[in-house]
Copies of this chain bind each other. A is one copy, B any other.
Amino acid sequence: MKNQKISNNVIRRLPRYIRHLDILADAGVIRISSSELGDQMNLTASQIRQDFNCFGGFGQQGYGYNVEELRGQLASILGMSESRTAIIIGAGNLGRAIIKHFKFGACGVTLKAAFDIDNERSISGPPFLPVYDMGELETYLEENETDIAVLTLPSNTANEIAVRLVKAGIKGIWNFTNVELRNIPKDIVVENVHFSDSLLTLNYYLSQKEK
């Protein structure tokens, strides 16, 4: 697969394709052309073909895409069938919302434990997740190989904790705090969910509509 230097935008569109293919599969659709798919997803057929060509292309000329096959290929590119492990730092409202409702499994990730400064904060399952005190972080990570840390803790401690996590072997940080993390080595993958960026984008388009 020639998947070097694929643009971030293409990568970020892949989950959207998968979500749409799931809807199609549920509706019993077996195959679809790039132009039909484009119509449904507000993309051009040529953009879809270009996106998939980044990975070597999937369709067959004149046949289109087999929905299930395409879904499988995209899922494999995104590592959805890998078995990664994660911990979550911060078991307040946002942490609990994610623990209770976010389907980690569907993304190939198993959430193993939560950490909080207040370890009296138990999680009433399901899922039944142990909540450890922040002081136990390093010992836990030494004993349990973990790929990803989800940051749902207050912003003011985010960077300090992120540095501790990386030192303890974490490879990927899923950052929900509104902080740009600093002093994180370049080989660590940081993915930010900045709510404010999203609301400001909504604002912008609302203003444009009113013009």
Contacts and interface: CB of A to CB of B under 8 A. Distances in A.
A23 interface: yes
Interface string A187-204: 101011111111111111
Contacts of A97: 92-94, 96-97
Contacts of A14: 200, 204
A109 interface: yes
Interface string A12-36: 1011101110010000000000000
B205 A191 contact: yes
Interface residues of A, number: 61
A15 B201 contact: yes
B80 A200 contact: yes
A63 interface: no
A82 interface: yes
A3 B211 CA distance: 11
B23 A98 contact: no
A137 interface: no
B107 A200 contact: yes
Contacts of A109: 199, 203
Interface in A80-121: 80, 82, 84, 92-94, 96-98, 100-104, 106-109
Given A15-B194, A196-B106, A78 B203 contact: yes
A196 B205 CA distance: 24
A77 interface: yes
6 contacts: A23-B180, A92-B97, A98-B195, A148-B206, A171-B206, A171-B209
